[in-house]
Amino acid sequence: MLSYRSDFMLPQICVTITLTSLLFCCGPAGPGLPDGDADNGGLFLPGGFEALVVADSTGRGRHLDVNSNGDIYMKLRGITPEGGSVALRDTNSDGKADIIRYFGDYTDSHNYGTAMKIYNGYLYFSTPEAVYRTKLSDGELVPAAKTEVVVRDTIILNGRRVEHSAKSIAFDKEGNLYVSFGAPGDVCQEENRKPGGKGKSPCDELEWFGGIWKFDADKLNQVQADGEKYATGIRSIVGMDWDPLDNNLYAAQHGRDNFSRVWPELYSTWESALLPSEEFFRVPRGFNGGWPYYYYDQMKGQKLLNPEYGGDKTRTGGADTVGLPVTGFPGHFAPNNVFFYKGDQFPERYRHGAFIAFHGSTIRAPYPQAGYFVAFVPMKDGRADGPWEVFADGFAGIDTIPNTSDAHARPVGLAMGPDGSLYVSESVNGKIWRIMYKGKKSGFGKTQLAGMEARKQRTNIKTPDEKEDNLQKGNIAAGEQLYNLYCATCHLSDGNGDGNRYPTLVASEWVTGNPFKLIDLVLKGLSGPITVKGKPYNGVMPPHDFLTDEQVAQILTYIRSGFGNNAYPISPREVKRVRENPGDAPRRP
């Protein structure tokens, strides 16, 4: 058993915990708290904690907040016919939502909502295009007031919206609203994401992107130019919060992508899976996080120059002029929310630090995808007060996550209820958990945290072994054999094709692009004119639907990682999904 399961605990009874053969004595359960689910909703938590599932399948959830009466409000990634937000109410105090209502009189052309916070009687929320608010009414679950625009994003770069357009928000004690404006590309290259491409110097994108702007929380119809540029050099923020004890803003940055794809001569796939660090920043006014010139290497504990600006994995080049993180997490955990606990239900230690929800990224192949848990960073005086901890894990529902689409749930939102319970939302189906503390608060420490320390060795959290944890090692060998049997006759053993009837697989947009389109092509075959790397072809590829899901996955994983390609592997589950739903396979998250 890897975690204490507090559903075994009875008030004022001492029970033996099998994990460490240590005796743990529980105090009385918190007054008025409902029972946790028998399996804690699938979560693993420190000793004394319980969890229950408040609601399931409400829609692709993003951030959430909880009102003073216990009503829950969650932003959705898309917009339903009824709106892009959902409200939930528990009418019988069993912890489960009995009423679920969708609402929202606004548009979101980018189908990607993010923030949801309650502030001064208003519900504030965001889309890539704007920060909105609507007045909450006493006793009413769904706001009846008209939605108002607080901040409108009017900046369009080269005729398009930027890549990292999520609008995370936070409020200070003085009535100010902080809004993140993400970078329009990966690392401010002259040609975005081009292998070996140079970075723009100086980076002109920093004028309006890659930072945080401060606004008046009560003023309507502001645009970015109306705000104060509060911080810069932060590539992409999806989670930030104001710490009331330190009276300062904190934010978590999503680091850059694909070191090994863009700079294969410098970075191995193993290094690319772990770098750069996801940085958790303390953000005072005027802060500079260093993007795009620098990245943080958590294994070396150093800021280093990005290769686009002359970096070679050792050069620092003035990195001492930019801010260091409070702590650096391994790469591609995808921090999607930051929350400073302000209640008194949890042990006192949780009032001195930050919870961070790691959504999990897609950029760790050929190693297991990582993140998919909630961490806690103990802090003192604005600095980390010890190593970060695993607070809640088990969201993904599987032990090893080959592809993001394999995860059953991906935690996103964090919020506190009026009784001090912690609520967590996720983005696959819109499940919401409520985490409660039922143990004895005095003496909480190493004994109760031992099970969570052990979970740092799970494949979604630990530093992978460069050889043993490479998920492609078996598939590559099997895929190569199947490729030579079924594909090499036309595309040749080196993947270059004959240049006439059969196109190359080397750096082909068909091979490294949308994986579901590629799977569909292999299963159905293809005939008629196509263009590959700008060259026309007009041949016939027969269907290969006689191959098993595993065989198709092995072949495609082989060609997407071989011949100089560096694309994510394909799983049998994805092949099965396309086979059963031809023409209706979604894009990978």
**Pairwise CA distance, residues 125 & 117, whole Å:** 6
CA distance from start to end of the chain:
32
For the chain, 589 residues long, give each residue's pLDDT as a single digit of tens.
233 333 333 333 333 333 333 323 333 345 589 999 999 999 999 999 999 999 999 999 999 999 999 999 999 987 778 889 999 999 999 999 999 999 998 877 666 789 999 999 999 999 989 999 999 999 999 999 999 999 999 886 555 567 898 999 999 999 999 999 999 999 999 998 888 999 999 999 999 999 999 999 999 999 999 999 999 999 999 999 999 999 999 999 999 998 988 898 999 989 999 999 999 999 999 999 999 999 999 999 999 999 999 999 999 999 999 999 999 999 999 999 999 999 999 999 999 999 999 999 888 888 999 999 999 999 999 999 999 999 999 999 999 998 888 899 999 999 999 999 999 999 999 999 999 999 999 999 999 999 999 999 999 999 999 989 988 776 677 888 888 888 987 898 888 887 767 899 998 999 988 889 999 999 999 877 889 998 888 777 889 998 999 999 999 988 998 888 878 788 898 999 999 987 655 444 3
Helices (H) then strands (E): counts for the chain: 9, 33
- The three-state secondary structure class of 486 is helix
Architecture field, domain 22-457? 6 Propeller (2.120)
Among 482, 509, 521, CA closest to 565: 509
Which residue, chain included where needed, has tokens 């702007």?
Answer: 213
- The three-state secondary structure class of 253 is strand
**Pairwise CA distance, residues 70 & 261, whole Å:** 47
Contact 74, 63 (CB under 8 A): yes
What residue segments make up the domains of the chain, in order of their start?
22-457, 472-580
Contact 307, 196 (CB under 8 A): no
Looking only at the bridges linking them, the beta strands covering 287-288 and 228-232 are parallel
**Pairwise CA distance, residues 113 & 77, whole Å:** 5
The residues that bridge with 135 in the sheet, in sequence order, are: 122
**Pairwise CA distance, residues 250 & 3, whole Å:** 30
Contact 436, 49 (CB under 8 A): yes
Contacts of 278 (CB under 8 A, 6+ apart): 252, 253, 254, 255, 328, 329, 330, 331, 332, 333, 334, 335, 358
- The three-state secondary structure class of 102 is strand
Question: What is the maximum alpha-carbon separation in the chain?
Answer: 79
For 113, 215, 249, 342, 410, the CA distances from 176, given in Å and listed in that order, are 21, 6, 11, 19, 30
Q: What burial class does residue 63 get, using C-beta atoms within 10 Å of its C-beta: 0-12 exposed, 13-18 middle, 19+ buried? A: buried
- Just give the CATH number of 472-580: 1.10.760.10
- The three-state secondary structure class of 449 is helix
E-strand stretches of 110-253 = 116-119, 122-126, 130-135, 148-152, 169-171, 176-181, 211-216, 222-223, 228-232, 237-243, 248-253
Which residue, chain included where needed, has tokens 């081009």?
Answer: 194
E-strand stretches of 454-545 = 526-532, 535-541
- The CA-CA-CA angle for residues 466, 43, 239, to 5°, reads 75
3-state helix, strand, coil in the chain (%, to 5): 15, 30, 50
